[in-house]
Amino acid sequence: MDSLRETLTRVANERGFVLVGFARLHPLSEREDFYRQWLAVGGHASMTYLAKDPERRFDPRRLDSRYRSVVSLGYPYAPHATPKVDWRGEMRGRIAAYALGRDYHDVVKKGARSVGNVIRQLRPGSITRTYVDTGPVFEREWASQSRIGWFGKNTMILNRDHGSYFFLAEIFTDVEFEATTEPYREHCGTCRRCLDLCPTGALADGYVMRSDLCISYQTIENRGAIPRELRSKLGNWIFGCDICNAVCPWNDEHAADGNADDLLPLLPELLALSDEEFGLRFTVSAVKRAKRRGLLRNVAVVLGNTGNPEAVAPLARSIEAESEPLIRSHAAWALGQIGGSAARRALERALRDHDTAVRREATAALETN
Q: What is the mean pLDDT of residues 212-232?
A: 97
Is residue 254 predicted with pLDDT exceeding 90?
no
Q: What are phi and psi of 20, to 5 degrees?
A: -140, 130
- The CA distance from 170 to 157, in Å, is 14
Which residues have a catalytic role annotated?
133
281 contacts 312 by C-beta, under 8 angstroms: no
Percent of the chain with pLDDT over 90: 84
pLDDT value, residue 84? 84
pTM over 0.85: yes
Weakest-pLDDT range from 160-164, 223-227, 262-266: 262-266
pLDDT value, residue 229? 97
Per DSSP (E only), the strands in 96-165 are 128-131, 150-151, 157-158
Residue 328's identity, in one-letter code, is R
Give rounded-to-5 percent helix, strand, coil for the chain.
50, 15, 35
Tell me the fold of 266-369.
Leucine-rich Repeat Variant (1.25.10)
- The CA distance from 324 to 358, in Å, is 10
pLDDT in tens, 103-143: 999 999 999 999 999 999 999 999 999 999 888 899 999 99
- The CA distance from 79 to 57, in Å, is 30
pLDDT value, residue 257? 56
Per DSSP (E only), the strands in 114-186 are 128-131, 150-151, 157-158, 166-173
- The CA distance from 214 to 118, in Å, is 38
pLDDT in tens, 274-285: 999 999 999 999
Q: What is the mean pLDDT of residues 76-92?
A: 87
89 contacts 24 by C-beta, under 8 angstroms: no
pLDDT in tens, 2-46: 799 999 999 999 999 999 999 999 999 888 899 999 999 999 999
Is residue 255 predicted with pLDDT exceeding 80?
no
Is residue 268 predicted with pLDDT exceeding 60?
yes
Weakest-pLDDT range from 229-233, 257-261, 325-329: 257-261
Report the phi/psi class of residue 141: left, alpha or beta, with left for phi > 0 and alpha for psi in -120 to 50. alpha
Give the three-state DSSP class for 329: helix
How sure is the predictor about 1, in pLDDT bands with cuts at 50, 70 and 90?
Answer: low
Angle at 18 between CA 209 and CA 251, to 5 degrees: 50
Percent of the chain with pLDDT over 70: 97
* Per-domain boundaries in the chain: 2-41+52-78+101-173, 266-369
pLDDT value, residue 180? 75
pLDDT value, residue 17? 98
